[in-house]
């Protein structure tokens, strides 16, 4: 199977949106970033700016989703053997 890693767009996000990227609730996200809260500074309204989002991603790690797909060759081989 081939593996595809999705690209993440770095843009202003809310806690809820960031939580969705990391497959966690906004409450869990807030708990994960409490250690760097002073470095992050205040949000503008409900949004973290791009620099803050980059700092959060550096702290927690890069969010990504791995999708495995069969190539045409692999599916043909399965049909022949199966």
Show me where the domains of the chain are located: 2-70
How much is the pLDDT for 38? 92
How much is the pLDDT for 8? 80
What pLDDT tens digit does each residue of the chain (82 aa) get?
Answer: 565 566 788 999 999 999 998 999 999 999 999 989 999 999 999 999 999 999 999 988 888 665 666 666 656 666 666 6
Evaluate whether 39 touches 67 at the Cβ level (below 8 Å).
Answer: no
Which tokens hold the place of 52?
């803050």
Q: What number of helices (H) and strands (E) belong to the chain? A: 5, 2
How much is the pLDDT for 7? 73
* Closest C-alpha to 33, from 49, 55, 64, 16: 55
Burial 2-15 (b: 16+ CB within 10 A, else e): eeeeeeeeeeebeb
Evaluate whether 25 touches 16 at the Cβ level (below 8 Å).
Answer: no
């Amino acid at each position: 199977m081939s593996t595809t890693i999705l690209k993440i767009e770095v843009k202003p996000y809310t806690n809820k949106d960031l939580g969705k990227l990391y497959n966690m609730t906004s409450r869990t996200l807030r708990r994960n970033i409490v250690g760097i809260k002073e470095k992050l500074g205040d949000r503008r309204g409900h949004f973290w700016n791009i620099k803050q989002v980059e700092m959060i991603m550096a702290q927690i790690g890069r969010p990504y989703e791995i999708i495995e797909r069969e190539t045409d060759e692999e599916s043909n081989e399965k049909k022949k053997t199966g």
